[in-house]
Amino acid sequence: MKNSQIHNEDMAAALAAAISLKGEGEPAPMLKFSCKCGKHIIAPAAAAGRKGYCPKCKSGLTVPPVRAANVLAIRCSCGRDISPEFLPEGRGFCPACLREIAIESPPTRTASPLLLSLLITIPVIIAIFVIYILAS
């Protein structure tokens, strides 16, 4: 094992220990994913959507969500790698230690109901106005 790989895994473990899941004092689960250069990277699941750099090729990357194609495994705090297929919707139990693993999805942006109603109402008002003008 290379020194940089050991260093990266030690940093990832320290970061996982610093982030607790639901305030229970349990280390947060980690995502194991691959860069386009093939380097395996481990990052906290809570970092999904955040940008960073590959330690091997230095290209920019974004930590993927749990269901992304390049997520190889989800690492439990006990060290066991679990396939994302066994954690439907990012929730399940570790087969080794039976801890519950719950990975929160990053928040998605949605349009407000007011904006949506305006986007529907304004074209209707314009159409009625144009019909009124043409009928006169």
pLDDT, tens digit, for every residue of 46-89?
888 888 889 999 998 888 887 777 788 888 888 888 888 877 77
> Alpha-carbon distance 40 to 33, whole Å?
6
**Nearest one of 62, 80, 82 to 72, comparing CA atoms:** 82
Measured in residues, the chain has a length of 136
| DSSP character at residue 20 | B
What is the percent of the chain with per-residue pLDDT over 70, rounded to a whole number?
Answer: 74
pLDDT above 50 (res 20): no
| DSSP character at residue 34 | E
The pair of three-digit structure tokens given for residue 62, joined into one six-digit string: 């974004």
Contact 48, 63 (CB under 8 A): yes
> Alpha-carbon distance 35 to 55, whole Å?
10
pLDDT at residue 105 in the model: 58
Handedness of CA 18, 92, 83, 70 (dihedral sign): negative
Helices (H), 28-112: none
pLDDT above 70 (res 5): no
pLDDT at residue 10 in the model: 52
60/119: higher pLDDT? 60
> Helix, strand or coil for residue 32?
strand
29/3: higher pLDDT? 29
pTM summary value: 0.54
